[in-house]
Structure 1
C-alpha cells in the first residue's frame, strides 16, 4: 500500500498559527533569509540557521526549475518554511513551480487588482482558475499520494504578491481585496527606484510608502512583509505592523563577511572610503 501524505502547512497557515499563539498580544514577526546562490548546499546551511522562513529567488538569481527542486529537497527536513519568488507573473511558470512542489509563491511586480487576479487564477484549478492539471506527474501532489489533491490543492498553496512600484502602492487596497491573495510583500529597492530615489531605500518618501502599505494590510486583515536588511529599518517596520521580513541574503552575508575578514589582514588603502555597499 503506498505511503499517503497530507499537505504541509503553508506560509499562510504558519502566520495564522503565530497569530493564534500570540492571543491578544503582539504577533511575533517571522524573520527570513534570502537564498540567491542557486546552491542546495547553501540553502541547507541557511535552513539550519534557526530562521523562520527562506525565500528561494528565481527573479534575480541563477536558479532554474532543477536547482529550485534541489533546494526544496535540501531544506525539507528542517523546521523552516520555504517560499519561491518567480521571475514574473506568468501562468506557465506558476504552473511549473507549483507542480515542482513549491507551496508558497511570491509573485513580483503586481501593480493592480487585475494582475493580482491573474496570479490567483494561475494557482487554482478550473472552474476557479486556469492551472493546468498534471497532478499524477507532479511532486506538488506527491505523484497523487496526497489524498484528493485536486479538490484540496488550495490548502497546499499560499500566494503572496509583491508591492514594489508607485502604482502598486496607489492600488494596494484593491490588491489586498482580491480573494486568493494571502499576503503582500513590499520591496523597498524597486519601490525607491519607482519613486525616483534609486538606491535610497531609507528615503522618507519610500519609508512612508512602505508604512502606508503595512497600514492598508492591517486594515484589510491580511499579513504584510517587507525586505529590510538594515536592523534599524527592520525594527521600525515591525513596529509599524510587518508580520514577516527578510533580514539578509546568503550571497550578501558571504560578501560582507569575506570583506571584513580580508580587511583584518589587509594594509589600509587610500582608495577605501569606508562606505558600505547599499543594501538590497
Structure 2
C-alpha cells in the first residue's frame, strides 16, 4: 500500500522529535524505507537503525533541542523538497535548512539530503539579492554540562593546528580546549583552531595561562565558547573567573567581539545578547589551597565544571605522579563530594575506555584527552606492527 506524503512527513518530523528509541524506531518504520539513506553536511546514516541512532545522538548532545518542519513539501516525480529549523531548549532558532528527498515506490522516504542555511548567492549574471542574516549557531555545552546524565568528551589541543582541531571536532567530540597555558599556541593559531570547529556541535574552549580578565577577553573575542581557568585557589578567584565571562552589569568583560561575531553568526551589536550567560566556566583544582577551599569554590554561582588536575595537584601535595597515594585520593574525594553536592560537572583525564568507564561510574560527566598523547599512542601502535 502506497503511503500518503503528508502522513509520511508527519511521522518523519515526529521521529526527529522523539527521544525514546523504541518509539522513534516505530515512527521510522512507518516513514523510512528499509535501506533509506540520510546525509547532511556533518553525518550520514544508511537504514532505519542508523538513522534512529543518529537522531538519538542529536538528543544526547543537545538536550531539549528539537527539529521542526517549517513548510509543507513540494513534490514531483517521487522527489520532494521541504524546509526545517533547529530550536534550542531555550526556544531560540539555532539553524535553518532545506531537505531534498526521494520517495520509494511504497511512498516511504528512500533518501534525504539536508543542507544547512540559505543557498549561497553570487552566481555570475544573477541579480544581486540582499543576503539573509546568518542564524547564530547554538552554544550548547553549558546546557549539556548541567545534565546529570551527560557523558561528554573534551580534548585538550596543544598542537597549534586547525587541521588537528578540525579532525577532532569532525569525529563527534563534544568539546576541544585550545591550550594557551601549556600548548605551543599563539593567538593567531587559537583563532584558526576555534574557527575550525564551525559547522560541528563541538564546543571550542580555551585554557588561558592565568586567571586574568585580559587573557580571557582576548580568547572570548576570538570566538571561544568558554574558558578553562588554571590554578583557582579561592572562592574570590572563582568569582573573578565567572565575572570575566560576562559583560556589565553582570560581569567585567570588555566589549569587542569583532572576530567572535563571525564564529557565532551574530551581528556586532547583538552579540552580547546572544552569548552572555551561555559561556562555560571550567575551573582547575590543582593546589592544596584549592582543595582546602573547594566547598566555597563550588558554591560560586556560574561555575559549570571542575577538573581536579592530577599532575599539578599531586605535585603541589608533594607526591608528584603518585595518584594512588592516600593524600591524593583524599583530595580527589573532597573535590568529588563538593562538586556532587553543588551539582557541578566533573571532568578528568581518560586515555582508555576503561579509564572513562571508571570516571563515569564515579559520577564524572566529562572524559578528557590530549591531542599530542592520542597522536603519540597511535604512532607507537603503528610502529609495533613492524615487529
Relative to the length of structure 2, the TM-score reads 0.61
**2:133 counterpart of 1:3:** yes
Work out which of the residue numbers 334, 345, 351 in structure 2 matches 1:223.
345
Tell me if the contact between 2:136 and 2:265 (Cα under 8 Å) persists in the aligned partners. no
224 and 115 in structure 1: CA distance in 2 versus 1, 3 angstrom threshold: same
Q: CA deviation at 1:104?
A: 1.6
Listed as ranges, the matches of 1:1-280 within 5 Å are: 3-6=133-136, 8-16=138-146, 18-19=147-148, 27-135=149-257, 137-140=258-261, 145=267, 148-229=270-351, 231-246=353-368, 248-265=369-386
Aligned Cα RMSD in Å? 2.3
Structure 2 Cα separation of the partners of residues 139 and 90 of structure 1: 19
Q: Deviations over 1:81-122 (max 9, x none)?
A: 222111111110101111111012111111111111111221
Secondary structure (helix, strand or coil) at the match of 2:211 reads coil
Point out where structure 1 has 5 or more consecutive residues left out of the alignment.
20-26, 267-280
202 and 47 in structure 1: CA distance in 2 versus 1, 3 angstrom threshold: farther
Q: CA deviation at 1:179?
A: 1.8
Of the two structures, which has the highest relative contact order with CA contacts closer than 8 Å and spacing of 6 or more? 1
219 and 15 in structure 1: CA distance in 2 versus 1, 3 angstrom threshold: same
Secondary structure (helix, strand or coil) at the match of 1:75 reads coil
Structure 1 Cα separation of the partners of residues 155 and 366 of structure 2: 11
Tell me if the contact between 1:184 and 1:224 (Cα under 8 Å) persists in the aligned partners. yes
Larger radius of gyration: 2
Partner of 1:277: none
Q: CA deviation at 1:152?
A: 4.7
Point out where structure 2 has 5 or more consecutive residues left out of the alignment.
1-129
Partner of 2:61: none
Structure 2 Cα separation of the partners of residues 65 and 51 of structure 1: 23
Structure 1 Cα separation of the partners of residues 190 and 365 of structure 2: 25
Structure 1 Cα separation of the partners of residues 293 and 141 of structure 2: 24
Structure 1 Cα separation of the partners of residues 154 and 280 of structure 2: 16
Relative to the length of structure 1, the TM-score reads 0.82
Structure 2 Cα separation of the partners of residues 215 and 146 of structure 1: 42
Structure 2 Cα separation of the partners of residues 200 and 56 of structure 1: 27
Q: CA deviation at 1:15?
A: 2.2
Structure 2 Cα separation of the partners of residues 149 and 45 of structure 1: 28
